[in-house]
Amino acid sequence: MLIKIKNKFDVTVSAKLTAKLGNTISVDTPSRKTTHARYGVWRVKHTGKSYYLHANCTTSPEHTVVSYSPFKIGWYLWES
């Protein structure tokens, strides 16, 4: 997606997010419950439409495009 935007609009684009190992977390788990945890880079899903506008003002059929961008790094916790 970034390459398409760069080529079409002749701009500089970038995306960077780094997750490091060795992170720890401490939680209080209630009795008779289990705490689950996942660590990682969470992302946001973007959905849009893509089409070409021709010189005679007609358009090509629309296509749905999906891209993801980094959102945050961290823990996702839940209990069961």
List, for residues 23-75, the tens digit of each pLDDT value.
778 889 989 999 998 888 888 898 998 888 899 999 999 999 888 888 888 88
pLDDT mean over 8-23: 72
Q: Which distant-in-sequence residues (6+ apart) come within 8 Å of 25 by Cβ?
A: 37, 75, 77
Q: Which two tokens stand for residue 31?
A: 């009795």
| Higher local confidence (pLDDT), 8 or 16 | 8
What pTM does this model have?
A: 0.45
Q: Which two tokens stand for residue 74?
A: 């961290």
User: How many whole angstroms separate alpha carbon 54 and alpha carbon 10?
Assistant: 20
Amino acid identity, position 42:
W
Q: Which distant-in-sequence residues (6+ apart) come within 8 Å of 28 by Cβ?
A: none
